[in-house]
Each structure stands twice: as structure tokens, then as C-alpha cells.
Structure 1
Amino acid sequence: MSQADQSDQPEETGPANATRERLLDAAIHIAGTLGTDQVTYRSVAARIGVAHSLVRFHFGTREAMLTAAFERAARHDAAAAHLRADDVSDLAGDLVALLADDPARQLLQYDFLLRAARGHGSLPDVAALYDHYIAQVAATLDSSGIDDPDGSLADLVFAALDGLVLQHFVYGDSARTQVALDRMRALLSGA
């Protein structure tokens, strides 16, 4: 069962979980800055100064570690970007700041998605997290009184947000991304 399936279960606490989170943060950093192919037991262990056997203990396989890092990054970013807002005027309100502050998490997610699309990762895990993002957008549309009975508008809005993130990496221009977000919100407000 992936972490996406475990979202209703309580999180573990304590030193073991703190170590696991540090390992995941190291994997996210390495994947986001160097690519997923550079995420190894040794590189993750070296990043936080522990033995590589500890990484194997926590994750078992490199693929399990990458999947857990992807899921951690995606869940964090969905909350931090405010895909779930009380009104469409606040939809993705912190997306631009998130992209500027820590691009490694988003880069990991795209890298993981491409690996999965090429058959080297779990497409169901990617789909589950995309479904999570889309559900956040759908909840925002619903709370704003925007009718979307078949969910196609939420799909479209998330696809636009996903594309804006990619364009942000191409252009590196926060103002450009913000203008596009503002325009999307204005269009939705008139929907």
C-alpha cells in the first residue's frame, strides 16, 4: 500500500520517524538538484551523516525511497501552495513563493512522473497524487460555488497549474507566473 493510500492513518512519531523524514528530505534535495538517478543509499546517508545501512533499513529498496520522497514532496506542496482554498481568489495563493523558495520538491515530482511514464516507477502512485491535487482544486471550486458536476473543470484547472509550474522552470520569472495565476483566478471567478 502506498502512502497515498494511507492518508487517513495516523503518522508515526518519535526518533525513528524523525530520522525517516530527514532521509526523505535528503532524497528530495538530491533528486531535485541532481536528478533521481543520483539518489542512492550512500548519497542520501552522506547528506545527513548516517550509515547507508540506515537508509536501507528505513526503505528496503531505492524505489521505495524514491516513491516515499515523491509522496512527501507532493503532499507538502499541495498544502503549502494552497490548492485547497475557501475561494478561487485564493487558489494556489502561495504557489509562486513555493516555487521560488524550494524548487527541488517540484523538480523531484516531475522527474518521478517521467520515470514512471517510462516504466521505471509507479504510475498508480503518480495518479493517486494527481487525484489528491485535483480533489483539492475541486474542493476550492465547490466552496466558491462553481458548478463542476463531472470534475472536468477541476481537471482543467489542475492541468493549467501543472503547466504553469513547468513554465516557471523554463522562464524563471515569478512575475510572469503570478500574472498567469491571477488571470486564471479572474476567469474562474466569472465561471
Structure 2
Amino acid sequence: MGGVAYGSGRQALLDAAIRVVSTQGLRGLTYRSVAAEAGVSHGSVRYHFGDWATLVEEALASCVERSVADAELSSDEPGFGQFASGLVSLVSANPDAQAFQYELTLEARRRPELRPVMERVNDIYRDAVQRELARNGLDDRALAELVFMTIDGLVFHQTAFGDDQRTERAVAALRALLSAYAASRS
């Protein structure tokens, strides 16, 4: 392994941490496993992140930032025609990032200290959905929660099973339901 390129070290280590957790679970995440995945010394991991919790939180933040943008939960166009149109490509482009988040979600059940972190992550996704629904006249927090959980389930199934067509059909059905509901309230 040639190691990480200068200037890309921090992101390369975050990406390595995501891959380790997605394949080995959170219990497999150590400085050594991340260093081995990235092709650097384990001292580099400690240098960049200081402690294990910071590594996990920064890797998670990196995943969430990319996922919110790539899922296309918001649009400049009126209506729901493009809502969540990036779900399949989001998972296809980086299934490890999604698996990483689900691993952390499950681990939060066993490690209470992770629960507030994962709640904040879900709030970010939930708020993105809420904003898009409100932009289209559906300012209803309960509906936003339902749509968020539906999208989360779709991403989970796409991550686990990779059935692009099934996911695309489900996203199209979700868009149709939202459009019909919005029209019925006008």
C-alpha cells in the first residue's frame, strides 16, 4: 500500500473508517484497522483525530453531509417530481457510507453514549425532509416523520439488497402519494 496522498490524509482516514465499520462493524474499528485500510501508520489516525469517539463522529458527519446532498431531498422545482430522486445512486455510489450509518444506529442500542449522536443525525435528515415538504405546502411534522422513516427504510433496503428497480418504484410511489396529498389540500 502506498499510503494516502498529502493533503487528502484526513478524508482518506475517514473513508477508511467508514469502510472498516461497514465490513467489520463498529467493534472492528481501531486505529490499527483504519491505518491498515488507509495504508498509513496507526499514529496517523491518532494524530488526526485524537480519540476514537472523534474519529467516529467525524466519519459520521462526513457521511451525513454527502448523503443529504446526494439523496436530492430538496429541489428548486415546484412539486415532488424530483424528490428523493438520488436515493438509488446515493447507495450505489457509496454503499459503505450507508452501511456505516446503519451499523452506528444499531450500535447506539448497545452503547447509550452513541444514541444522542445518532438522534442528531436523524434530525438532520428529518429536517431536510421537513423543509422540502413545507416548501411544497405540506408543513406537517408528523407527515415529515413518516416520509423520513419511509426514505430511511428505502435506503436501508437498497443498501442491504441493492434492488434498484424496486427502490425506484417505491420512490416513484412516494412522490405520487405526496403529490396527490398536496393537491387534495389545495
SS in structure 2 of the partner of residue 190 of structure 1: helix
Matched, 1:33 2:23: yes
- What TM-score do you get using the length of structure 1 for normalisation? 0.84
SS in structure 1 of the partner of residue 75 of structure 2: coil
Matched, 1:143 2:135: yes
Which residue of structure 2 aligns with residue 185 of structure 1? Answer: 175
Which residue of structure 2 aligns with residue 104 of structure 1? Answer: 96
1:50-107, Cα deviation, whole Å (9 max, x unpaired): 2111111222222321222122112211111112223422111111111122110000
1:135-164, Cα deviation, whole Å (9 max, x unpaired): 11111112222232xx11111100001111
Instruction: Map 1:145-160 onto structure 2 (within 5 A).
Output: 145-148=137-140, 151-160=141-150
Work out whether residues 130 and 139 of structure 2, in 8 Å CA contact, stay in contact via their aligned partners in 1.
no
In 2 relative to 1, CA 170–107 (structure 1 residues): closer, same or farther, beyond 3 Å? Answer: closer
Paired AA for residue 108 in structure 2: A
Instruction: Map 1:58-77 onto structure 2 (within 5 A).
Output: 58-77=48-67
**What displacement does 1:120 show?**
5.5
Q: Which stretches in structure 1 are left out of the alignment for 5+ residues?
A: 1-14
Q: Which stretches in structure 2 are left out of the alignment for 5+ residues?
A: 182-186
Which residue of structure 1 aligns with residue 156 of structure 2? Answer: 166
Work out whether residues 112 and 121 of structure 1, in 8 Å CA contact, stay in contact via their aligned partners in 2.
no
Distance 1:48 1:59 in 2: 14
Distance 1:56 1:83 in 2: 35
- What TM-score do you get using the length of structure 2 for normalisation? 0.86
Work out whether residues 32 and 42 of structure 2, in 8 Å CA contact, stay in contact via their aligned partners in 1.
yes
Distance 2:113 2:60 in 1: 11
**What displacement does 1:187 show?**
0.2
- Tell me the number of residue pairs that the alignment of Structure 1 and Structure 2 aligns: 175
Matched, 1:49 2:46: no
Paired AA for residue 77 in structure 1: S
Work out whether residues 34 and 42 of structure 2, in 8 Å CA contact, stay in contact via their aligned partners in 1.
yes
**What displacement does 1:125 show?**
1.1
Identical aligned residues as a percent: 38
Distance 2:118 2:30 in 1: 21
In 2 relative to 1, CA 68–16 (structure 1 residues): closer, same or farther, beyond 3 Å? Answer: farther
Distance 2:55 2:119 in 1: 18
Which residue of structure 2 aligns with residue 126 of structure 1? Answer: 118
Distance 2:8 2:18 in 1: 15
In 2 relative to 1, CA 16–153 (structure 1 residues): closer, same or farther, beyond 3 Å? Answer: farther
Distance 2:93 2:113 in 1: 27
Distance 2:129 2:155 in 1: 15
